[in-house]
Amino acid sequence: MKDRSTEEGQPDSQGFEEKETAESLRLSDLRAFRLPVFLVVVAALAVSVAVFKRYLPYTGTPLVPKEPPPVVLTMEDARLVGLGRTGKLWSVKVGKIEIARNRSGAVLKEVTDGKIYDRGKVVLKVRAGKAACEINSRNLLLSDGISVEG
């Protein structure tokens, strides 16, 4: 933009108006962008609070941890073998195993292809809907539709 002056060094009325109009356009452009930028920042803050809400200290979560679940480990389609001093005592194929929190017992579901051994030879074949395995005592307790062959 050219600075127009009269002979006395004073700005021309047209030049002054052009300069003022150009500056007012720049300021109005900046003001026009303030609201959308503000709305984007507020939306980003709201989304981050919603996503990370459970990590924030003021959400009211207790400082004491929750009690752990009674079942700490679940396995599917597994084969278990019970061992004694003389070798295998029993073996079973199970659809699902749930190991308890105290880790001294496990619940076996859909017990198939179960075998009871005596001196290394299969004595009985068993099937059951459910079984409880006591890890410390090495006992296997069958229930729910027991089938025994032997």
Higher model confidence: residue 61 or residue 70?
A: 70
| Distance separating alpha carbons of residues 111 and 103, to the nearest angstrom | 20
- State yes or no: pLDDT of 111 exceeds 60: yes
pLDDT of res. 95: 92
Q: Six-digit token pair at 79?
A: 């084969």
Cβ burial 56-77 (10 Å sphere, 16+ → b, else e): eeeeeeeeeeeeeeeeeeeeee
Q: Where are the domains of the chain?
A: 1-66, 71-149
Phi, psi values for residue 94, rounded to 5°: -125, 150
Distance of CA 87 to the CA centre of its chain: 42
Give Cα separations from 39 to 32, 51, 93 (angstroms).
Answer: 12, 18, 60
Across-strand partners of 149?
125
Question: Closest Cα partner for 90 from 80, 78, 99?
Answer: 80
- State yes or no: pLDDT of 127 exceeds 60: yes
pLDDT, tens digit (0-9, with 9 covering 90-100), for 129-150: 998 888 777 677 888 888 888 7
With a CB cutoff of 8 Å and minimum separation 6, the contacts of 120 are 86, 87, 88
Amino acid at position 76, single letter: E
Tell me the average pLDDT across 103-131: 88
pLDDT of res. 83: 84
| Residue 4: band (very low, low, confident or very high) from pLDDT cuts 50, 70, 90 | very low
pLDDT of res. 93: 92
| Distance separating alpha carbons of residues 41 and 9, to the nearest angstrom | 48
State the average pLDDT for the chain: 76
- State yes or no: pLDDT of 43 exceeds 90: yes
pLDDT, tens digit (0-9, with 9 covering 90-100), for 70-110: 777 888 999 988 888 888 888 889 999 888 777 778 888 99
